[in-house]
C-alpha cells in the first residue's frame, strides 16, 4: 500500500537542516509505503521517486493532493489521564470564581472511577482517543491513578493498554482516603500487590512527588520498585511548589519530569546535563490559573522540552495539542517552531521513542495535514479546527 502526498506547501520533517531544527521544506511531497515513511523531498522529484517504488512493489500509488497545506508529524501527547469516571466541572467553576487548585480533588474522581464499570470507562476512553486523533494526536501516553486500589488500578492500566502501548502505572497519584495518615502503608501496597497486578500491562512507572501527594523518599521507593520490575520511570514534580523531585528523577534516569513550574537553578542545571525531558503542560496553568513555568529559561539552558495536554478532569480537561501549542507560544513565550517541535519530536523524546516524531525514511507514517499554509496557524488561529487529515501508521483516520 503506497500513498504519495503531493503539493505540500510547508513540510515540517523534524530532521535538522542547518539552523532549522524542524527541517522545513516548501513545495514538498511525502511517500508512504506499508505504514512507514519511504521518502520525503521536493514535489518535483515525487513522480520519479514514486514510480520507482511502484515498479518495485507492482502497486498502484494513491495520490493525495495537499492543496498547498502544511504537513507536520503527528502530535505525540506524552502525558494524559484518560481513564476515569465523572467530571469536576463544579470544581473548575469554583476555581474560576477564586478557589485555589490542590492535589486533593483527585480523590473525588477516584470515587467516581471505582464506581464505573469497565464498559463505561472503555467507552469514555475511546471517545477521548478519538477526540485527540481528530486534533492531530497520533500517539498518546495514558496513566492510571484514579483507582488507588489493586483491583481498580489493574482495570485502568488494562483498559489503557487496549488503546496505546504507552501505558503508565500511577498508583502513587495521591494517598486514598482510606489510607489517610498511613501514607507509608499505602506505598507498601503500591510497590507490592498493586505493582504485581499492574506491571504486566504497563511500560512506565510514575509518581506525583509533591506536597499533598508523595514525599521524595516515598517517590523514590515507588520508582525503584517499578524499575526493578522492568518499568521505566517518569515523574510529576514541582507543579505546586519547589522540591527535590526533579533531581531525584534525573538521578534515576527518568525519561521525563512533568510540570516543572517551580524549578531551582540546580534543577535546571541537572536537567540540562541529563537525557531527562521536561514536559510542559500549558493546559494545567491555563485551567488552574497558576503561574506558567519559565519555558525560555529551560530552553536557553539547553533542556529538552516537550509539550503535552495532561488531559484529566481536575487540572486540565483539554485534549487539544493545537490549543496547548497556542498557549505555550502566547503565555510561555516559546517560539512557534519550538512549540511545534516540543509537541512532536519532544513528545517522542519524552517517551523514548525513535520511530515517531519526525517525517524521515523508516519512521512510522504518522502525519497531520493542516488546513493552513503553515504550522504557524496552530498558534495564530487558536481554537480553530485546522486538522484536515491524519495518517496513523499510513492509514488515513479522518
DSSP-based three-state secondary structure for 88: coil
Q: Least separation, in Å, of the C-beta of 100 and ligand NIG?
A: 12
Give whichever of 143 and 392 is closer to ligand NIG, judged by the CB atom.
Answer: 143
Cα 284 to Cα 257, 314, 315: the distances in Å are 15, 9, 5
Q: Which helix (H) or strand (E) holds 387?
A: strand 387-392
Q: Which three cell numbers stand for residue 190?
A: 503500591
Give whichever of 43 and 315 is closer to ligand NIG, judged by the CB atom.
Answer: 315
**Are 241 and 263 a contacting pair, CB within 8 Å?**
no
Q: Does 141 bind Fe ion (CB under 5 A)?
A: no
DSSP-based three-state secondary structure for 330: helix
Tell me the C-alpha distance between 213 and 225, whole Å: 18
Residue with cell 496513523: 392
Q: Which three cell numbers stand for residue 217?
A: 523518599
Q: Least separation, in Å, of the C-beta of 79 and Fe ion?
A: 6
Q: Least separation, in Å, of the C-beta of 377 and ligand NIG?
A: 28
Q: Least separation, in Å, of the C-beta of 92 and ligand NIG?
A: 10
Cα 154 to Cα 114, 160, 197: the distances in Å are 11, 10, 6
The stretch among 227-235, 248-256, 287-295, 310-318 that binds Fe ion (CB under 5 A) is 310-318
Residue 288 interacting partner from Fe ion, ligand NIG, none (CB closer than 5 to 8 Å by kind): none
Of residues 285, 310, 338, 366, which one binds Fe ion by CB under 5 A?
310
If 0-12 CB within 10 Å is exposed, 13-18 middle and 19+ buried, where does residue 344 land?
buried
What does the binding site for ligand NIG look like in residue numbers (CB under 6 A)? 105-106, 109, 208, 236, 239, 284, 310, 312-315
**CB 259: neighbour CB atoms within 10 A?**
28
Tell me the C-alpha distance between 195 and 187, whole Å: 10
Residue with cell 520498585: 225
Give whichever of 6 and 287 is closer to ligand NIG, judged by the CB atom.
Answer: 287
Tell me the C-alpha distance between 232 and 26, whole Å: 39
Q: Least separation, in Å, of the C-beta of 313 and ligand NIG?
A: 6
Residue nearest to ligand NIG (CB): 314
Q: Does 294 bind Fe ion (CB under 5 A)?
A: no
Tell me the C-alpha distance between 283 and 256, whole Å: 18
How many chain residues touch Fe ion (CB under 5 A)?
1
Q: Least separation, in Å, of the C-beta of 146 and ligand NIG?
A: 7
DSSP-based three-state secondary structure for 66: coil
Q: Least separation, in Å, of the C-beta of 359 and ligand NIG?
A: 30
Q: Within positions 164 to 203, which residues make up the interface with Fe ion, using CB under 5 A?
A: none
Q: Least separation, in Å, of the C-beta of 55 and ligand NIG?
A: 51
Residues 6 or more apart whose Cβ sits within 8 Å of residue 183? 175, 214, 215, 218
Residue 315 interacting partner from ligand NIG, Fe ion, none (CB closer than 5 to 8 Å by kind): ligand NIG
Q: Does 77 bind Fe ion (CB under 5 A)?
A: no
Chain contacts with Fe ion (rule: CB under 5 A): 310
Amino acid at each position: 500500500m503506497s500513498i504519495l502526498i503531493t503539493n505540500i506547501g510547508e513540510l515540517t520533517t523534524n530532521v535538522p537542516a542547518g539552523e532549522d531544527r524542524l527541517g522545513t521544506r516548501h513545495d514538498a511531497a511525502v511517500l508512504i509505503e506499508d505504514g512507514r515513511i519511504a521518502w520525503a523531498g521536493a514535489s518535483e522529484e515525487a513522480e520519479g521517486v514514486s514510480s520507482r517504488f511502484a515498479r518495485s512493489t507492482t502497486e498502484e500509488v494513491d495520490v493525495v493532493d495537499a492543496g498547498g497545506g502544511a504537513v507536520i508529524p503527528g502530535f505525540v501527547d506524552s502525558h494524559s489521564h484518560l481513564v476515569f469516571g465523572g467530571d469536576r466541572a463544579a470544581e473548575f467553576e469554583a476555581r474560576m470564581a477564586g478557589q485555589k487548585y490542590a492535589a486533593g480533588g483527585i480523590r473525588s474522581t477516584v470515587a467516581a472511577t471505582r464506581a464505573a464499570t469497565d464498559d463505561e470507562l472503555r467507552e469514555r476512553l475511546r471517545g477521548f482517543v478519538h477526540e485527540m486523533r481528530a486534533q492531530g494526536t497520533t500517539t498518546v501516553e495514558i496513566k492510571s491513578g484514579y483507582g488507588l486500589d489493586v483491583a481498580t488500578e489493574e482495570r485502568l492500566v488494562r483498559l489503557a493498554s487496549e488503546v496505546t502501548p504507552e501505558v503508565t502505572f500511577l498508583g502513587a497519584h495521591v494517598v486514598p482516603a482510606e489510607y489517610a495518615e498511613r501514607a507509608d502503608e499505602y506505598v507498601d501496597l503500591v510497590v507490592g500487590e498493586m505493582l504485581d497486578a499492574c506491571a504486566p500491562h504497563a511500560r512506565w512507572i510514575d509518581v506525583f512527588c509533591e506536597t499533598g501527594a508523595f514525599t521524595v523518599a516515598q517517590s523514590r521507593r515507588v520508582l525503584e520498585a517499578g524499575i526493578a520490575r522492568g518499568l521505566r520511570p517518569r515523574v510529576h514534580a514541582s507543579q505546586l511548589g519547589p522540591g527535590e523531585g526533579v533531581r531525584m528523577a534525573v538521578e534515576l534516569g527518568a525519561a521525563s519530569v512533568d510540570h516543572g513550574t517551580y524549578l531551582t537553578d540546580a534543577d535546571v542545571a541537572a536537567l540540562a546535563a541529563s537525557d531527562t525531558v521536561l514536559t510542559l503542560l500549558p493546559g494545567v496553568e491555563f485551567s488552574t490559573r497558576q503561574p506558567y513555568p519559565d519555558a525560555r529559561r529551560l530552553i536557553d539552558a539547553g533542556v529538552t522540552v516537550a509539550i503535552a495536554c495532561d488531559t484529566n478532569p481536575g487540572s486540565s480537561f483539554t485534549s487539544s495539542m493545537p490549543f496547548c501549542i497556542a498557549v505555550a507560544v502566547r503565555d510561555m513565550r516559546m517560539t512557534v517552531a519550538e512549540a511545534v517541535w516540543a509537541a512532536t519530536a519532544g513528545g517522542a523524546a519524552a517517551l523514548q521513542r525513535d520511530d515517531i516524531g519526525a517525517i524521515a525514511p523508516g519512521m512510522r507514517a504518522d502525519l497531520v495535514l493542516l488546513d493552513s499554509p503553515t504550522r504557524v496557524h496552530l498558534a495564530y488561529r487558536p481554537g480553530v479546527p485546522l486538522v484536515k487529515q491524519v495518517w496513523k501508521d499510513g492509514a488515513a483516520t479522518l
